[in-house]
Structure 1
Amino acid sequence: MREDFLHYLWKFKKFDLLNLKTVQGEVITIIKTGDYLELSGPDFFNAHIKIGNQKWAGNVEIHLKSSDWYLHNHEKDPSYTNVILHVVWENDTPIFREDNTEIPVLVLQDYVAKEVVDNYQSLLSPKTWISCEKQIKDIDYFVLKSWQERLFFERLERKSKFIHELLEETNQDWEAVLFCLLAKNFGLNTNGTSFLQISKAIPFSIIRKESFEIENLEALLFGTAGLLDSDKEDLYFEDLKFRYYYLLHKYQLEKTIVFPVQFFKLRPDNFPTIRLSQLAGLYHKHQNLFSKIIELKSLKSVYELFNISASLYWQNHYQFDKESPRKAKVLSKSFLDLIVVNTIIPLQFAYSFMMGEEISENLIDFMNEVAPEKNAIIDKFTLFGIKAQTAFESQTLLELKNEYCNKKSCLNCALGIELLKNNSN
């Protein structure tokens, strides 16, 4: 038994409302269960309850055991002085106010039908990948779609926290924040942390100043990544190395140590050399990139803006001093789809929120143009009858799995609540 189940029972009145009595024997009539705000303090605020012949307006606190009141030190917290009813599953000790009057107690298990408890325990079975895997395909379409919208924006809100941290670090420079986000996501999972460190190590003011020479941008990025530390008989390598140390001296920068970039087990097109060169190419081609990205509203416009490739040297190289067959190292559509999901949409969401603009529908429409991610979680949902057709849907399924299913938070999930409601009818 978990406390969130008791919150669910109280909020949706899933118990016998006609015969309620306190443990002291007084009849209880619930006029209003109160507002479930999930804030610090009592669980339900501004409840209206009649106990015996007296009507009360105040707060309701819920615990598995009445002794949890003392375990959580509520007797010392003034925010609990207005509690008018203590709802518990088990009453193991009386609870008193500061004036020594006993707080009325309702033992909820005396009024909950067995099938309601059985449905709850079945939903939280620990032996399944997700608790509702046998039932999720039968969820009402409108309930599912409404919940997906909520999940989508919860996911964006979580991603926004990182953006706000970057804003603090960059003195509210949105262009610098974008550079950090792009660098991190150009590095993908393997080199994302290293690329982020690289972007933070180079003041964005220098990226602005040097963007007119792509060799200087590559020198800064490759040098900071530690890719110019060795000696090679390669003219381009030697040129970048010379430029790097010249730029360190010019801007009085100290050489920064970052996590070593990785090549192992990466497809050649994802080698850090190629991705850093493409990032340099992007900033060489576009000044004021942030303002352009904020205005993007379609996948086609993304493909046009990011129509760049690695520099000329990398057309026939993947690593320094090792020639390979010539190939234009352009940004693929699948890679740009990831940039939309992980950089462009979160950035637009965070910026619009700070500007007080409402663009929710635009973001959903944008994401519905993008193909869904392909990973084990999305594949598993497909097996249970929930197939993601777009990135909007795949993102919501990832949020559902990671933030609700994995945490067994079914009673905070609209799908779990819907299933409990249906099974209890």
Structure 2
Amino acid sequence: MANFNEDFLQTIWKYQYFDKNSLETTTGERIEIKKIGFHNFHEGPDFLEAHIKIGKLEYHGHVEIHKYASEWNQHEHQEDSRYNSVILHVVWQHDKEMLRQDQTILPTLELKGRVFLDVLRNYERLITKSSELLCADELPDVPDILKFSMIEKALVERLEKKSILILDSLAQTNNDWEETAYRWLFQCFGFKTNAIPMGKVGSSVPYKVLQRLSFQQRSLEAILFGQAGLLEGETSDEYVLDLHQEYLFQRQKFGLKFACHAHEWKMMGVRPSNFPCIRLAQLVQVLRQNPNLFSTVLHELDNFQNFKKIFAINLPSYWQEHYRFAKKAEKTTTKGLSKDSLFHLAINFVVPLWYTYGKYLQEPEWKEKCIDFLQTIPAENNYILRKFKAVNWPVQHAFDSQGMLGLFHNYCSQKKCLDCKIGQNIIKPQKMGRPEKKRKFG
């Protein structure tokens, strides 16, 4: 059993899945573990602030984990001052004596022959499976509360990533939450496929400019379509010609810098209802109805029904007959936001904005509000979520689906089972009796 990485040994140390009777260093000094330390997920030793008694002396410092002792030098720890405070080197196999930077011998504990056999077997059985969900067969035996906890953890990590983007935007706008919320809305309206060009358009026009023009639909359309590069090229369409003239005037008036060109928008494989012209036309209506967007989302929204009212829009007659400029559609439709679009915006616009706002103000109740809100939104339906459904893990609402997406992308697909509470539960010993009565791997 040597087919494992360092993270497996970190788990063994973290949960003490080894026989601790008569522990000794490789030089024969008795070891007593009083405190394992805090798992460090950043640079530096693996476990910080440990408390270990070696021989007759008690030490407070750090613990470093390696598969082979010689990796200490391979990783150049002997030249790194951060490792001078390592009080115990925990390895699978002690293949060579290691020295600290000051040339003192590094106390080493060899785990080979001490790790519980059922832990090794459970881990080997888990990682050798070919399924994308390695834990699929064991999931029925995993407590529901643990699965819920892992979904919540993956969801919060997903929100943390999005909060970094929002906080970056907040810094760029001198802590203007209205401007930040407006820019975030544009990016979310790109619906992944066109998030980048849509973000460019939002960042290129100050929100205060659009607020001033909130009662002038023609001016709003001209600015957004013009900045998007969608008024370029020759045409005989009077509506386009009129918008182009208005855009030239407004662009000069407000000193707008061109945002992007028409070729930057992706059209291949995109449904007509998701064409950039339609999305920008919808944005115009949303901004007209909500001139103080962030305040509205913050103070007038507490459930999904209110959200639908805020985003209930109908497009002008031109866009009821067109999906793009100068080309009539076969059917006439109001082209309001579809249910799926509303779900997408509630999940990806509102929730990350609330979460980031709470994080910024250090008000944890916003996190709870996000979780409650997600539980009122239906779950998405895609090929990833169908994998969880196939192994009888219900996907009941957006809290589940968002957590499962985070779980799949950040853990399952990367085979990070040992960082997952579910994986940790699967590899643990079946019985937590006295260590000396457990079978060991030799």
TM-score w.r.t. structure 1 length? 0.95
Q: CA deviation at 1:417?
A: 0.6
| 2:119–2:429 Cα contact (<8 Å) kept | no
Which residue is 1:342 aligned to? 348
Provide the aligned length of Structure 1 versus Structure 2.
425
Cα gap change, 1:47 to 1:187, in 2 (>3 Å): closer
1:355 corresponds to which residue? 361
Deviations 1:18-61 (A, max 9, x none): 13221112222222222223233222222222223333332211
Alpha carbons 1:303, 1:333 under 8 Å: kept? no
Alignment of 1:87-106 (within 5 A): 87-106=90-109
CA drift of 1:126 comes to 5.5
CA distance in 2, matches of 1:70, 1:422: 33
Which digits, 9 at most, give the CA deviation of each residue in 1:191-240, with x for residues without a partner?
A: 22111111112222322222221111111111122211122222211111
Q: What is the RMSD of the two structures over their aligned residues, measured on CA atoms?
A: 1.7
Match of 1:292 in 2: 296
Deviates more, 1:399-408 or 1:74-83: 74-83
Q: Does residue 1:390 correspond to 2:402, yes or no?
A: no
CA separation of 1:319 and 1:393: change in aligned 2, threshold 3 A: same
Of residues 30-39 and 385-394 in structure 1, the stretch that sits farther from structure 2 once superposed is 30-39
Contact 1:309 1:328 (C-alpha < 8 Å) held by counterparts: yes
What whole-Å deviation, never above 9, does each CA across 1:312-341 have from its counterpart, x for those lacking one? Answer: 321222222233332111112221110011
Distance 1:149 1:256 in 2: 38
Query: What is the CA-CA distance between 1:423 and the residue it aligns to?
Result: 4.8
Letter aligned with residue 322 of structure 1:
K
Q: Which amino acid aligns with 1:299?
A: F
Selected match of 2:327 from 322, 325, 334: 322
Inter-partner Cα distance in structure 1 for 2:392 and 2:162:
28
Find 1:414's aligned residue among 379, 404, 421: 421
- Secondary structure of 2:112's aligned partner: helix
> Secondary structure, in 3 states, of the residue corresponding to 1:160?
helix
Q: Which of 332-341 and 201-210 deviates more?
A: 201-210
Preserved CA contact (<8 Å) 2:182 2:293: no
- Of 312, 317, 335, which aligns to 1:312? 317
- Contact 1:278 1:311 (C-alpha < 8 Å) held by counterparts: no
What is the letter of the counterpart of residue 328 of structure 1?
A: T
Native 8 Å contact 1:211 1:284 kept in 2: yes
CA distance in 2, matches of 1:286, 1:52: 70
Secondary structure of the residue aligned to 1:109 is: coil
Question: Does structure 2 conserve the Cα–Cα contact (< 8 Å) formed by 1:59 and 1:84?
Answer: yes
Indicate which of 253, 262, 269 corresponds to 1:265: 269
Partners of 1:162 and 1:140 in 2: how far apart? 34
Please, which of 186, 190, 205 is the counterpart of residue 189 of structure 2?
186
Partner Cα distance (2:255, 2:132) in 1: 54
Deviations 1:281-306 (A, max 9, x none): 11112211111112222000100111
1:43 is aligned to 2:46: yes
Contact 2:118 2:429 (8 Å CA) reproduced: no
Equivalent residue of 1:395, what SS?
helix
2:8 is matched by which residue type in structure 1? F
- The 5 Å alignment of 1:1-12 reads 1-12=4-15
Is structure 2 residue 338 aligned with structure 1 residue 332? yes
Q: Which moved more, 1:100-109 or 1:76-85?
A: 76-85
SS of equivalent residue, structure 1 residue 181: helix
What is aligned with 2:154? 151
Q: Give the CA deviation at 1:62.
A: 1.0
User: Which of the numbers 22, 25, 40 marks the counterpart of 1:22?
Assistant: 25
* CA apart distance, 1:377: 0.3
CA distance in 2 between partners of 1:54 and 1:352 (Å) = 47
> Normalising to structure 2: TM-score of the pair?
0.92
Report deviation, 1:99. Answer: 4.0
Relative distance call for 1:99 and 1:268 in structure 2 (3 A) is: closer
Match of 1:110, SS? coil
Gap regions ≥5 residues in structure 2: 433-442
What is the letter of the counterpart of residue 385 of structure 2? I
Number of the residue aligned with 1:55: 58
Cα offsets for 1:402-422 (capped at 9, x unmatched) = 111122211111111111125
Residues 230-288 of structure 1, C-alpha deviations (whole Å, 9 max, x = no match) = 22222211111111111112122233334522333322222211111010111112211
Task: Name 1:176's counterpart in structure 2.
Answer: 179
For residues 100-141 of structure 1, the C-alpha deviation after alignment (integer angstroms, 9 at most, x for no partner) is 321111111121133322221221226221221211233101
269 and 361 in structure 1: CA distance in 2 versus 1, 3 angstrom threshold: same
1:37 touches 1:45 (CA, 8 Å); kept in 2? Answer: yes
Helix, strand or coil at the partner of 2:264: coil
Q: Which amino acid is 2:357 matched to? A: Y
Amino acid at match of 1:74: H
Q: 1:422 to 1:337 in 2, by over 3 A?
A: farther
When structure 1 is superposed on structure 2, of 227-236 and 282-291 the one drifting more is 227-236
Q: Could you tell me how far apart the structure 2 residues matched to 1:191 and 1:368 are?
A: 28
Q: Aligned partners of 2:105, 2:257: CA distance in 1, in Å? A: 67
| Greater mean alpha carbon deviation, residues 10-19 or residues 207-216 | 207-216
Is the CA contact 2:179–2:207 (under 8 Å) kept in the aligned structure 1? yes
Question: How many angstroms apart in 2 are the aligned matches of 1:54 and 1:46?
Answer: 16
Q: Match of 2:409?
A: 402
Give the match for residue 438 of structure 2.
Answer: none
Cα distance change, pair 323–58 in 1 and its aligned pair in 2 (3 A)? closer
**Distance across 2 between alignment mates of 1:222 and 1:99:** 66
Matched, 1:216 2:219: yes
Q: In terms of mean alpha carbon deviation, does 400-409 or 322-331 score higher? A: 322-331
Matched, 1:71 2:74: yes
Is 2:283 aligned against 1:279? yes
Higher relative contact order (CA 8 A, sep 6+): 2
